[in-house]
């Protein structure tokens, strides 16, 4: 790491910092002196007008000197920061690549497994409902039959809703699940906004924060997309509603 040694060798030592402090005090004193002169100055004729120009020239020269000295002092640090940012970028990208590769494989497996478990859950739900029909036939009252069938229906629905890969814990303390997010891909803004306005005209204004959607703010737009998607809406005039999923490890 020759470059790091080279740059750190230029870090200010105590004596250097003391020198900078002394210079700054002199600059501040000189600057305040010019401020006082400018405050007292009265421009009343050609002579005082010219002297005002002299004061500006002196202040400009001193300002340039201060800036040049600042640039010289900070230069090595800027180079070091640039070097560090560049040097650390590559390993950081490798870690990001590793995460991306494994997340893609995990999501691919989970989608297949979720589909398999969902099919199994649907079959189990059908079995529960079939058994409920048999039990309902044995009930002597219509109310009793309705109670059996309603309970079975709720159980079947819960079986399907809870199907899929759940939270998994690793050997090193990680807990892995997924998080779904929703979005609206707008292909034609005019058609999309027209559909929203029509929706509001039909009495659904409380479901839509139109101001947020006109600016397409991420939060409200995603919430709106989620409601639409879960209601079974996949397309609207000028737009497409999508669901995506990503790995969440904590």
Question: What pLDDT sits at residue 4?
Answer: 40
Question: What pLDDT sits at residue 238?
Answer: 84
Question: What pLDDT sits at residue 187?
Answer: 85
Token output for 35? 């401020």
- The pLDDT-based confidence of 57 (bands split at 50, 70, 90) is very high
- Yes or no: say if 164 and 114 are a contact pair by the CB < 8 Å rule: yes
Greatest pairwise CA separation for the chain in angstroms:
117
- Yes or no: say if 147 and 156 are a contact pair by the CB < 8 Å rule: no
Dihedral sign for Cα atoms in the order 124, 125, 128, 134: negative
Task: Summarize pLDDT for 60-78 with one digit per residue, the tens.
Answer: 999 999 999 999 989 988 9
Distances in Å between the Cα of 27 and the Cα atoms of 21, 31, 40, 43, 61 are 10, 6, 20, 26, 12
Q: What is the Cα 211 distance to its own chain's centre?
A: 21
Q: For residues 250 and 20, which has the higher predicted lDDT (pLDDT)?
A: 20
Q: Is the pLDDT of residue 107 over 80?
A: yes
The segment with the largest mean pLDDT, out of 39-43, 160-164, 201-205, 232-236, is 39-43
Write down the mean pLDDT value for the chain: 83
**d(Cα 198, Cα 134) in Å, to the nearest integer?**
48
Task: Summarize pLDDT for 160-217 with one digit per residue, the tens.
Answer: 888 888 888 888 778 888 888 788 888 888 888 777 777 766 655 555 555 555 555 5
CA-based nearest residue to 114, from 55, 180, 53: 180
**d(Cα 78, Cα 203) in Å, to the nearest integer?**
59
Task: Summarize pLDDT for 92-105 with one digit per residue, the tens.
Answer: 999 999 999 999 99
Q: Is the pLDDT of residue 233 over 70?
A: yes
Record the pTM.
Answer: 0.54
> How many CB atoms lie under 10 A from the CB of residue 228?
19
**d(Cα 175, Cα 169) in Å, to the nearest integer?**
4
Residues 81-86: what's their mean pLDDT? 92
**What angle (nearest 5°) sits at the alpha carbon of residue 194, between those of residues 188 and 200?**
140
C-alpha dihedral, 199 to 204 to 207 to 213, nearest 10°: 30
Question: What pLDDT sits at residue 98?
Answer: 93
Task: Summarize pLDDT for 1-24 with one digit per residue, the tens.
Answer: 344 444 445 555 677 778 888 888
Residues 136-145: what's their mean pLDDT? 82
**d(Cα 178, Cα 110) in Å, to the nearest integer?**
9
Q: Is the pLDDT of residue 56 over 90?
A: yes
32 φ/ψ angles, rounded to the nearest 5 degrees: -65, -35
């Amino acid at each position: 790491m020759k470059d790091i040694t080279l740059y750190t060798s230029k870090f200010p030592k105590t004596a250097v910092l003391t020198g900078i402090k002394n210079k700054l005090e002199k600059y501040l004193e000189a600057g305040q002196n010019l401020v006082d002169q400018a405050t007292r100055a009265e421009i009343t004729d050609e002579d005082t007008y010219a002297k005002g120009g002299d004061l500006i020239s002196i202040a400009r020269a001193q300002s340039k000197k201060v800036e040049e000295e600042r640039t010289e002092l900070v230069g090595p640090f800027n180079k070091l920061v640039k070097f560090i940012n560049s040097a650390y970028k590559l390993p950081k990208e490798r870690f990001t690549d590793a995460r991306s590769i494994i997340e893609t494989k995990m999501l691919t497996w989970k989608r297949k497994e979720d589909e398999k478990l969902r099919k199994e859950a649907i079959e189990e739900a059908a079995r529960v409902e079939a058994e409920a029909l048999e039990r309902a036939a044995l009930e002597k009252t219509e109310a009793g039959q309705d109670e059996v069938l309603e309970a079975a229906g709720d159980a079947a629905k819960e079986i399907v809703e809870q199907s899929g890969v759940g939270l998994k814990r690793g050997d090193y303390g990680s807990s892995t699940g997924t998080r779904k997010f929703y979005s609206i891909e707008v292909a034609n803004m005019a058609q999309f906004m027209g559909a929203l306005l029509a929706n509001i005209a039909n009495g659904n204004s409380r479901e839509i924060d139109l101001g947020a959607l006109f600016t397409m703010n991420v939060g409200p737009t995603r919430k709106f997309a989620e409601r639409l998607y879960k209601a079974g809406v996949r397309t609207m005039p000028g737009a497409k509603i999508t669901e995506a999923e990503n790995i969440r490890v904590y």
